Amino acid sequence: MSPFCCESAWLCLAATTAVLGGIILSRSKSPRQLGSRVVCFAGLWGGACLLSLSLCYSLLLFSLSCFLMYMYSSDQELLPVDQKAVLVTGTDSGFGHGLAKQLDKLGFTVFAGVLDERGPGAEELRKTCSKRLLVLQMDITKLEQIKDAHSKVLEKTQDTGLWALVNNAGVFHLPIDGELIPMSSYRKCMAVNFFGAVEVTKVFLPLLRKSKGRLVNVSSMGAEVPIQMMAAYSSTKAALTMFSSILRQELFKWGVKVAIIEPGGFSTNFPGTPDLWEKMEKDVLDHLPKEVQEDYGQDYIQLQKDTLKIMKTRSSPDITPVLRDIQHAISSKNPFPIYTPGRLTYLWIFIASCSPISLLDYISQKIFKPKHLPRSLSTPY
């Protein structure tokens, strides 16, 4: 074979592989999904590598790239709804509230777990959704309420069974240094964000095993990326992510598929109201030892409420990407193990996973550096 033919073959294979990768990247319905991104980058990387490999290895790499692209891009059909039953926790507001409405419109039988069955969120669901949706009083830190919800779900789904459980309920805390976060806030975050989700999962897993259904746990980008001022919240979400990853392997033999949703910055009322911020600030100040309060200063603590305001302004008000990914995890024949909705979410998780720690810390210090310094560090000697 002439050198010209070999060179032409290399160029043709390189261009074809790169184009295939680019097409999947551009046409992906949810480019934030980790699996899709891996495939896209693999295709583009393969195209570049083909330029410097022998024809034999080029053919092998080309075949492998095409196979991987086919595996990830095909067979992503959505299963029929058929009034499948889905339980969603934390539907008073935010992601859970929007998801309950969307699933109801699609024809699912929705069990909407709420913290307050008489609250405005619960009332809105009753008014705007179909009769298929049932609001359940479900404080996930109270086992008796979880078991009561289980009894009602079991009663309503005797014929169809429970197809999916979405653990969405969660709590936040005042963004502030880990040293200043009261132990009560650590315990509350752990009780809701981790232990509550685990408790609900354990109670409802027999129904999911019976239906060979889906377990979807809503975690956070903070579970993978260390973000200053989020010690309590991110730590509990990291625990939930690891719990989900282990269950994904353990439940495989039962036919139950587990998906983790790790959203980036989205604007919901999740952080709470100004009144709640005042209460959290007071809780911080009331539990500080005198020496710690002198080092940080009361002004520093009070200024941390600005972080919440910044979070709201910089977050995306459109939660559609999150709802779309959760719906895909529930309905797809082959859901992805991890979804990362949100602008640059995937990139941040990639950097946190692959870059040297010193580089990650440097980048984080530049991007997430607090606007204010503690009194002892800002006062000249």
What is the Cα–Cα distance from 97 to 240, expressed in whole angstroms? Answer: 21
List, for residues 99-151, the tens digit of each pLDDT value: 999 999 999 999 999 999 999 999 999 999 999 999 999 999 999 999 999 99
pLDDT score, position 284: 86
Side-by-side strand order, sheet with 109-114: 134-137, 109-114, 85-88, 162-167, 214-218, 257-261, 338-339
Which of 233, 296, 339, 346 is an active site residue?
233
Residue 255 backbone class (left: φ over 0; alpha: ψ -120 to 50; beta: rest): left
CATH class of the domain defined by 85-368: alpha beta
pLDDT tens, position by position, 152-210: 999 999 878 899 999 999 998 888 999 999 999 999 999 999 999 999 999 999 999 99
* Confidence tier at 372 by pLDDT (50, 70, 90): confident
Q: Find how far residue 121's CA is from the centre of its chain.
A: 22
Retrieve residue 352's tokens.
Answer: 């946190």
Question: Is 57 labeled as catalytic in the residue annotation?
Answer: no
Write down the pTM of the prediction.
Answer: 0.81
* Least confident range of 50-54, 90-94, 229-233, 350-354: 50-54
Cα distance between residue 133 and residue 110, in whole Å: 5
To the nearest 10°, report the CA torsion of 341, 122, 213, 206. Answer: 130
Q: Is the model's pLDDT at 24 over the cut of 50?
A: no
| Domain locations along the chain | 3-73, 85-368
Tokens representing residue 376 in the block: 């002892």
Q: What is the pLDDT of residues 255-267, one digit of tens each?
A: 999 999 999 887 7
